[in-house]
Chain A
Amino acid sequence: MSADASPVQYEVVHTTEYDYSESVAVSHHLAHLSPRVLPHQQCLHHELQIEPAPAVMTTHSDYFGNPASYFAMQGAHKRLTVRARSRVSLEATKLPSPSDTPPWEEVADRTALPLEAVEFLYDSALIPASAELEAYARAAFPPARPLLDAVLELTRRIHDEFTFDRKATTVRTPLADVFKSRRGVCQDFARLEIACLRSLGLPARYVSGYLETAPPPGRPRLLGADASHAWLSFYCPEAGWIHVDPTNNVLPSRGHVTVAWGRDYNDVSPIHGVILGGGSHTLRVHVDVLRVEEI
């Protein structure tokens, strides 16, 4: 990365292709494919190209403020292609110095938290807190340790102690199994760390987005760059939500494009649908994130 902190522009193309063994008469879909607008991230352009053309297509802002698109197919089709094209501009995020952040126990007092943080304290369907995970997390959270400092250590431990393995898990693999096998993908590491933080009473949310596909020469290619990526953010008083990526052990900045956040994957899954008919189907997903100067 160039040393300066100037904004970076990316062109993101996220393609999802369904092939059905039999014709589909009707299907309904909900997509989270449009990047959020954030203080450090602008969405310059976004369009959703759907083939064949959907009968209905609308967009609303969901409960968490993510742009969400509903579309429905009402004519017989055997293939569905959804291509999301976005152009975003990212600036480097400003982070507090870890030692300046408050002792973690102060943050774990829910009566002092703002409403938007309380929302992310509780179990959700895919991320249940547990005594086991709390015990795992505790090692990084000795009394009075500054919050960011502790989170960084937890992130590093997860990165070091867990193996990236595409074949080990699916979206539905219980978290306890991930913890036991010590293997998984970005989604698993994100929810693992979220569960650790929530077990301690710290608000944490699940973030979905993208990584740059081919980083500039000399920089390592990050894991999870050829598909949707997932990490998390946790609430830190004054600083607000701080993003951490346990898969790559980094603090996301100009290299992570944020699309949506929620309590877990279910709130932000890039695209899901209820399909009537169609027999079996195969699914292909492809993500390209290119720096604009390279285009």
Chain B
Amino acid sequence: MKSPTDVHGVTAPWRLFDGYHSPEGTYDEMIAASGELRPHCEGFVRSVEALGRHEFTSRWEGAKRSIRENGVTYNIYGDPQGMDRPWELDMVPLLISPAEWRGLEAGLIQRTRLLNLILADLYGPQTLLATGLLPPSLVFSNPAFLRPCHGVRVPHGIHLHLHAVDLARSPDGQWWVLADRTQAPSGAGYALENRIVLLRSLPETFRDCQVHRLASFFRAQRDTLMALAPKPHDQPRVVLLTPGPYNETYFEHAYLARYLGFTLVEGGDLTVRDRKVFIKTLEGLQPVDVIFRRLDDSFCDPLELRGESSLGVAGLVEATRAGNVTIANSLGSGVIETAAIMPFLPALCRRLLGEELRLPSVATWWGGQAKELQYMLEHLDQLVAKRAFATEGREPIFGKKLAEREKSLLAAELRARPDHFVAQEQVALSSAPVWHRHKMEPRPVVFRTYVAAAGDSYTAMPGGLTRVSGTHDIPIVSMQRGGNSKDTWVLSEGPVSTVTLLTPPGSATRPERAGSDLPSRVAESLFWLGRYAERAEHAIRLLRSVVARLTDRDTTDPLELAALLRVLVELKMLPERFAERVPLRELEEEMLSFFFKENPHAGLRRTLNELRRIATIVRDRLSIDTWRILNQLHQDLRLRHGRVQFDDVLAHLNRMITDLAAFSGMEMENMTRGHGWRFLDVGRRLERAMNATSLVQLALSAGSSDSAVLEPLLEIADSSMTYRRRYFARPRLSPVLDLLLLDDTNTRAVAFQLAALSEHIRHLPRDPKAPSPTREERLIDQAIATERQVDPHVVHRDGDKGAQEVTALLASIEANLRELSEAITYYYFSHAELRVS
């Protein structure tokens, strides 16, 4: 492109593509070979240039921040940085012109229809194998061909409900299919999240460009899945089955479940009874009609598929055989994910659809055919070899990069197991501009888009996930390798209809099934989320009371510090030696160590990591704001060694307490008062009551004369203000005990927690036939009765004997609460179904 000149002495307008050159011989998505902007990109580029460089850059920073804050992540196995890696999104979308999209759309839908028919044949009459249109060995040697699923009828003949297609563009501008994903395709949720981020970052540009919305695609997908309930009824229950938080794309499982309004479940949440699938909820077993799965099919049923899998649901295949549940995609649909099928698609398309295949696949040779094997062996240098079956790995092998010895080993393996290999032409990917270091740079891209069942036909997502290679010379594009991504804008010729899935226009809100969809596992996680949040806050408050005294030494009462340290030693938060006088420097080091390493004494880090882990499990139950707060807490934990001075620690602890306070605020103000909220709050109250009772016991054991511990005690229990307002004096033992234990207007007092627990327990779901009072009710009543026997003045009056009396009562309350926690776990969370074989 021509550089703008500054002839009139005014600042030249910003030009996005100054100095941009795509590599010789590749197709660039935005700039034609002539150096001109492609016509369909003009609107976008003008609109972005009108923002100016400064504004564009600041919006890009905003976008990155929003991705970080929303916790959009992709788990990379073996990533040293930890499990979650923030998602990466480029600010410049891939633009597809209306005319080009028409062709693509028709080709995509045709391909899905074709693959669906192939699946129907392979799991049915197998005519294609008998007539040789597909070589039998391609299917029979394929581990993804699941024989137990043969002959299982699927509603409306739909095997493939969601199909992902990876497309690449060759230098002549033609799109080629690189790969099909037919089993449980990932990425649609990331495409949606990318769209939301970009829409917020570039709203004017998005409007000006007349971009097709994604919502109608997801709506069609959702409505179709709901309509596929084997026995249609008003409120079909669709669940999204995930392998769990350790899966690389767990973020989008939770994200899509929330967006589509499906319940997110793990295999352990489901059970098969009477050949029907049920979800285990707090209120018993609830029927499931449709399973939208993100679990690979061979893991779905330990009875009939992969015996050692613990992720699936025993009896699921039998439930499909009985026609009692619809699974999307159907079990066994992974068999056609192999690239080995690609060479056969043109003939299959003519036979099954009577049409020519519209979208060509990248040139592929399958070793299972003699001539093709010969060709592969002779041209290893020019080809990319791959395992034909994904179960054996997806890593491409670039022939030209192999040493002679490696090449002959590969050739030997090819000859030994020819069926298990394919080779493909090495594709020259097109390039697209990526915003990198304040300018545009070309990067190879692959475009993944989706086709979903919609009524009796299929619909293609007008958009998708464009993945970008990390550097311009690596031809492999994979999120697993840590690439960047782009939104994809399919441009419309006219105004686009705006549909959003969040508030379907004209349709009444479906009545909420109050809490009945809460899986027991989720209730348990929420319970522990409450406990860990409280545990973390308690630990941080304890640390802060020490750190505050170290930071502000001039006004610190050394007796207070010593008393406090003894408490921390008793709680095993500090090593024994801190009970005696130690150099303050050493204490400072110890305080810092809470942040930098797994401190064996306190495990604050462990508590926070556990909090994070549990939050991840129930992510679909937390509002985006709540998640953002927890994410902030997690970021605050990530201090870098060497960058932090002891003086910063106090501010840091304060920030973490604020994060936790914000979290509990969200919980109180923004969570529906369903069972989920109750379990979260039960966890929090139990933990708080237990912490308070044990802390007061420690303070009492220090000796009733030791009043130095009282000020820190009030601080930790966040009750200093209340005390001072009430008594205008230095703390004395009896009123402190009264405030911390008995005052039911003090939200931190034990009495307050017990009253709240009692209220919750009476509202938890119950088997009406269960004896009354329940064990939980009995335990909380006992705790409350014990608490009422506590007389704070007895300590003042009777000295040590009084302290012992109160301590004994508190110990009894604490034991009661522990038992209560176990009772709740037993009644509500234990599935009493541990798998043994």
The interface of chain A, by Cβ under 8 A from chain B, is: 25-26, 28-30, 55-56, 58, 60, 62-64, 70, 72, 74, 110, 115, 118-119, 121-123, 131, 266-267, 272-281
Contact = CB atoms under 8 A, between A and B. Distances in A.
B302 interface: yes
Given A72-B273, A274-B835, A122 B147 contact: no
B416 interface: yes
Interface residues of B, number: 34
A267 B302 CA distance: 14
Contacts of A121: 137, 140-141
A274 B314 contact: yes
B150 A26 contact: no
Contacts of B126: 115
A58 B321 CA distance: 11
Contacts of B151: 63
B835 A63 contact: no
B584 interface: no
Nearest to A113: B136
B752 to A, nearest CB: 39
A70 B318 contact: yes
Interface string B247-282: 000000000000000000000000111110000000
A72 B137 contact: no
Given A28-B318, A72-B272, A131-B416, A118 B137 contact: yes
A55 B275 CA distance: 10
A18 to B, nearest CB: 10
A275 B835 CA distance: 6
A280 B315 contact: no
Contacts of B416: 131
A206 B148 CA distance: 17
A52 to B, nearest CB: 16
Contact of B141 (A56, A123, A278): A123
A56 B836 contact: no
A167 B425 CA distance: 52
B832 A272 contact: no
Contacts of A272: 303, 307
Interface of B: 126, 129-130, 136-137, 140-141, 147-148, 150-151, 271-275, 302-304, 307, 314-315, 318, 321-322, 416, 419, 831-837
A56 B275 contact: yes
A63 B148 contact: yes
Given A28-B315, A121-B140, A115 B130 contact: yes
Contacts of A63: 147-148, 150-151
28 contacts: A25-B832, A26-B271, A56-B275, A58-B318, A62-B147, A62-B148, A63-B150, A63-B151, A70-B275, A72-B315, A74-B273, A110-B137, A115-B130, A121-B137, A122-B140, A122-B419, A123-B141, A272-B303, A272-B307, A273-B837, A274-B835, A275-B835, A275-B836, A276-B831, A276-B834, A276-B835, A276-B836, A281-B837
Contacts of A62: 147-148
Contacts of A131: 416
Nearest to A134: B416
B322 A58 contact: yes
Contacts of B315: 28, 70, 72, 274
A277 B832 contact: yes
Given A58-B322, A72-B272, A276-B831, 8 more contacts: A26-B833, A56-B275, A118-B137, A273-B303, A274-B837, A276-B314, A280-B836, A281-B837
Pairs A-B, 3 closest by C-beta atoms: A276-B833, A274-B314, A63-B147
Contacts of A277: 832-834, 836
A29 B835 CA distance: 14
Nearest to B141: A122
B272 A28 contact: yes
Contacts of B141: 121-123
B274 A56 contact: yes
A146 B535 CA distance: 77
Contacts of B303: 28-30, 272-274
A72 B272 CA distance: 9
Nearest to B129: A115
Contacts of A267: 147
Contacts of B137: 110, 118, 121-122
Nearest to A278: B836
Contacts of A56: 274-275
Contacts of A123: 141
Contacts of B271: 26
A118 B136 contact: yes
A36 B147 CA distance: 19
